[in-house]
Amino acid sequence: MQALSIMQPWAWLIVNGHKPVENRTWATAYRGQFLVHAGQKFDQAGYELVRDCYPEIEMPRPEDFPKGGIVGVASIVDCITRMNSSWFHGPFGFLLEDARPLPLVTFRGQLGFFHVPDHCLADPRAAHLGDPVEAF
C-alpha cells in the first residue's frame, strides 16, 4: 500500500473530513487509496491558522495529535492546479475523497509516496482492518 507523510495538524484534518485537498509543490499521476502517515513534526503556525479561520473545527490539543505513523486512509481522485477553496494553496493539490481515520500504527515516514508492506498493517493495533490486502 502506498503512503504519504503529512505533517500534523494537516493529516488529522484530512482523515477527519475537514480538508479535501493536500497541497504539494509537485504533481502526481497516482490515483486511488493511500495511507495517511503523520510525521513527527507539528505545524504550530498551521494549527493556530486553522483555529482562527475555522473556529467550528474542534481539534485536539497539539500534544494529543497522533504522530509517527499511519493515522488514516484517503483516496486521491485528481491532481489539480486550481480550486475554489480556502484549503488550496498549490501550486499542486491532490484532490481527496473517502478519508477516514485509523488508530495509530507506528511506522517511519519518507519523502514522497512510499510503500508500506502488508505485514506492517497486520500490527495488532490495526486488527480492526481485517486482511490488510482487502482492507483497502
For residue range 50-77, list pLDDT tens digits in order.
999 999 999 999 999 999 999 999 999 9
Domain range for 37: 2-135
CATH of the domain at 51: 2.30.130.30
Q: What is the pTM of this model?
A: 0.85
Contact between residue 13 and residue 6 where contact means Cβ atoms under 8 Å apart? no
Which pLDDT tens digit goes with each residue over 91-102? Answer: 999 999 999 999
Who has greater pLDDT, 111 or 45? 45
What are the residue ranges of helices labelled H in the chain? 10-15, 44-53, 118-121, 132-135
Total domain count for the chain?
A: 1
Q: Which three cell numbers stand for residue 135?
A: 482492507
Average pLDDT of the residues in 45-54: 96
Please state the φ and ψ torsions of residue 11, each to the nearest 5 degrees.
Answer: -60, -45
Residue 106: is its pLDDT beyond 60?
yes
Give pairs for 77-81: CB < 8 Å, separation 24+. Answer: 77/31, 78/31, 79/27, 79/28, 79/29, 80/21
